Amino acid sequence: MSLHEIKLPFIVVVGSRILSRVPAVLDQMGVGSGEAVGIIAGRTTWEIAGKEVAGHLEESGRRIVFFEAGEASAGEAERLAGLIKKSGVGVVLGVGGGRVIDLAKYSASKAGVRMVSIPTAPSHDGIASPFASLKGFDRPTSVYATTPSAIIADTYVISKAPKRLILAGVGDLLGKFTAVKDWRLAHRLKGEYYGEYAAQLALLSAKHVIRYHELIASGSEEGVRILVEALISSGVAMCIAGSSRPASGSEHLFSHALDILAPGRALHGEQVALGSILMLYLYGDKRWRLVKNIMKKIGLPTTADEINIPPDVIVKALTIAHKIRPERYTILGENGLTEEAAKRLVKETGVA
């Protein structure tokens, strides 16, 4: 058997009003009190949590270097990596949503330092995975960066995030139903490596949000904690698999296609959830109705109009999605869907 290396987060702390624990976590990581610590955050997330984190670190005797996060691009990540190298910091904290954490993971990897994930929103499972989604590469897909050495998720802070971001996190997790199906299909037909434990862990995350969707959608701290733990679980599944396979399949290819055709119209998790309806239907999996009904119930978009993308663009995305990562076999096959098949699919599922 070929070598399979698993890199997992060293420390995971989830709880309410726990940002004061950041210095203690760094102590556990072996980051001394006299060492410099970098914080990557956006202007908004600096005010939401970054400033408080910096205050606790300064009280512990650590010097803080702040790096303001720009757009989620490879160029911006390279710029940050250069600044990190010059600053002499030994660890970088990503304090923010998906954009900030992806930039922090990639720039920390390039700079050769460790990274700590401190999410302020639960919009997708990148808070715990080793992958970063950045513009500027050959394809609009995730690239391997680094596994966060620690994850510190303050449910009080995260519960204050806009409801749309919370629901997007649910949407991202619903995609695991089709991602695992695609992974199994690629294993059977193409001989691709498949890990049952990682697959089941990803599926558990999806089943968990199905079970607790009402509580999560309420925006309560209890619901947000359930969502955050499921997102972390999904991220760990990718760490165990050594790829994004257990968490990203045809539904993600569809989302990436939409990013090309209609950038900025919808959130990643919203697009993934819509893709999950479509791909489950292609599989003949009756759960497509359950997923759609739950999405409607909590307020996730289930139609082209609701996601603010024209029906013809949805159809076009379905016909090109298989080209995004041709090496990743899914239910879309090697030739993809014809326009006629795509039109029939969106009509029969009520997406358009």
| Beta-bridge partner residues of 116 | 93, 150
Count of CB atoms situated within 10 Å of the CB of 124: 28
CB of 216 within 8 A of CB of 226?
yes
For 168-183, what is each residue's pLDDT tens digit? 999 999 999 999 999 9
Buried-exposed string 195-233: b where 16+ CB fall within 10 A, e elsewhere: beebbebbbebbebbbebbebbbbeebebbbbbbbbbbb
Task: Annotate 208-259 with DSSP letters as a single string.
Answer: HHHHTHHHHHTT-HHHHHHHHHHHHHHHHHHHHHTSSGGG-SHHHHHHHHHH
Q: What is the largest CA-CA distance in the chain?
A: 64
Nearest to 131 by CA among 143, 115, 119, 121: 143
Six-digit token pair at 303?
A: 């139609």
Burial class (CB in 10 A: 0-12, 13-18, 19+), 8: middle
With residue 283 as reference, give the H or E element that holds it: none
Query: Is pTM beyond 0.85 here?
Result: yes
For the chain, 352 residues long, give each residue's pLDDT as a single digit of tens.
Answer: 567 788 899 999 999 999 999 999 999 999 988 889 999 999 999 999 999 999 999 999 999 999 999 999 999 999 999 999 999 999 999 999 999 999 999 999 999 999 999 999 999 999 999 999 998 887 777 889 999 999 999 999 999 999 999 999 999 999 999 999 999 999 999 999 999 999 999 999 999 999 999 999 999 999 999 999 999 999 999 999 999 999 999 999 999 999 999 999 999 999 999 999 999 999 999 999 999 999 999 999 999 999 999 999 999 999 999 999 999 999 999 999 999 999 999 999 999 9
Rounded distance between C-alpha atoms, residue 324 and residue 256, angstroms: 7
For 235-246, what is each residue's pLDDT tens digit? 999 999 999 999
Task: Annotate 168-200 with DSSP letters as a single string.
Answer: HHHHHHHTHHHHHHHHHHHHHHH-----HHHHH
